[in-house]
Amino acid sequence: MKCKRQLSGMIFEWTARSFTLISMIALITILGVLFLKGSQVITWEFLTSEPLDGMTRGGIFPAIFGTISVTLLMIILALPLGVASAIYLVEYAGTGFLARTIRAAVNNLAGVPSIVFGLFGVGFFILFLGRNIDKVLQTGLLFGQPAMLWAAATLSILVLPVVIVSTEEAIRAVPLSHREAAYALGATKFQVISRVVLPQSLPGILTGAILSVSRGAGETAPILFTGCAYFLPRLPVVTIPYLNIPMINPLDQFMELSYHLFIMATQSIDAQATRPIQYGTAFVLITLTFLLNLSAISLRIYFRRRHKRR
């Protein structure tokens, strides 16, 4: 009797173990396939040249450039908003009805399908906001069309929950005694926040920022219609008049790694022949996001350990 119970226990435990293994094997297979097939394609030339011959040869430099610029613009938009939002939630909102509503909204925002953000980007940012800016500024059709600015704005509301939740966690981790000590010295609430709480939660906020950059770089659906281009013969760069400094042009369209991969895999002239380019693009994309993720995870572990030791 006892033997039978133990045997069935063993069987079930091994089943649970094998399920874990299956998930991990899936991850390893994905990484392995991408690494094996992708690393053969990666050369310096592939990374630094433009697509050639109707995108059947050449490199992916414009896509790398576009990905980096759009995620930079995204985090510039999302970080201040998310951090301020989190400060309000932790330090001011308390536990009342409003705080609970905001928290529910943040959770719900995190669960909104990415394609819905894409629709929202078209309906709100481009057709409503952009067209109305054009009307007010008399700029013809400058803002009311797909552009990097709108893609970045759409992505920024997608990553807003990531920023808010990680900042909240970081702010909460600051011990109450530090706050009380500052109050005892006569500091006002905002002085406490800006000089005691924020400096201590900076690593956590940074982790959140890195995670959201990685998330934003990998998303495709929100930018499908808000600013991505199939192919652009130029980089989205503009020279500032009089100063002669080149700057990313947020009103231009751009090429993006994940969109490039999608287009090459589904709508290329010859999807079979361009497979190497597809694997190369996928490899660059996953390396980018994984390096970001790994640095965020190790940063978090490092600061948690340091925090515990104190």
Partner 1 sequence: MNYSLSDEIKLPPPSSREVAGLSLRNVDLRETSRRRLKLKVQEFFIEKFLFLNGLTSIIIIALIFIFLFKEGVKAFTEIKPFQFIGTHIINFSGQEVFAYIWQPVGEQGKYSLAPLVLGSLLVAIPATVIATILGVGSGVYLAEIASRRRREWMKPVIELLAGIPTVIIGFLCLSFLGTAVQNLFHTSFRLNAFVGALGVSLVIVPVIATITDDTIRAIPDDLREAAYALGATRWETIWKVLIPAGISGITASIILGMGRALGETMIVLMATGNAALVTLDIFSSVRTMTATIAAELGAVAQGSAQYYALFLVGATIFTFTFFLNLIAEVVINRMREKLKL
163 binds partner 1 (CB under 8 A): no
35-74 residues in contact with partner 1 (CB under 8 A) are none
107 binds partner 1 (CB under 8 A): yes
Nearest distance from C-beta of residue 293 to partner 1, angstroms: 5
CA–CA distance, 83 with 157 (Å, rounded to integer): 13
273 binds partner 1 (CB under 8 A): no
Burial state string for 188-205 with b = 16 or more CB within 10 A and e = fewer than 16: eeeebbeebbbebbebbb
Q: Which stretch binds partner 1 (CB under 8 A): 11-19, 56-64, 201-209, 237-245?
A: 11-19
CB atoms within 10 A of CB 285: 24
Nearest distance from C-beta of residue 87 to partner 1, angstroms: 6
Contact criterion met (CB below 8 Å) for 204 and 297: no
User: What φ, ψ does residue 252 adopt, rounded to 5°?
Assistant: -95, 160
Structure tokens at 244: 């002669």
Q: Give whichever of 61 and 124 is closer to partner 1, judged by the CB atom.
A: 124
166-225 residues in contact with partner 1 (CB under 8 A) are 185-190, 214-215, 217-221, 224-225
Q: Give whichever of 102 and 238 is closer to partner 1, judged by the CB atom.
A: 102
Structure tokens at 16: 């649970």
Nearest distance from C-beta of residue 137 to partner 1, angstroms: 21
- At 178 the three-state DSSP class reads helix
Nearest distance from C-beta of residue 188 to partner 1, angstroms: 5
Rg, the chain, Cα only: 24
HEC per residue, 230-281: CCCCCCCEEEECCCCEEEECCCCCECCHHHHHHHHHHCCCCCCCCHHHHHHH
Q: How many residues bind partner 1 (CB under 8 A)?
A: 86
225-264 residues in contact with partner 1 (CB under 8 A) are 225, 258-259, 261-262
Nearest distance from C-beta of residue 201 to partner 1, angstroms: 15
Nearest distance from C-beta of residue 115 to partner 1, angstroms: 4
Strand partners, 57: 52
277-296 residues in contact with partner 1 (CB under 8 A) are 278, 282, 285-286, 289-290, 293
Q: Give whichever of 65 and 117 is closer to partner 1, judged by the CB atom.
A: 117
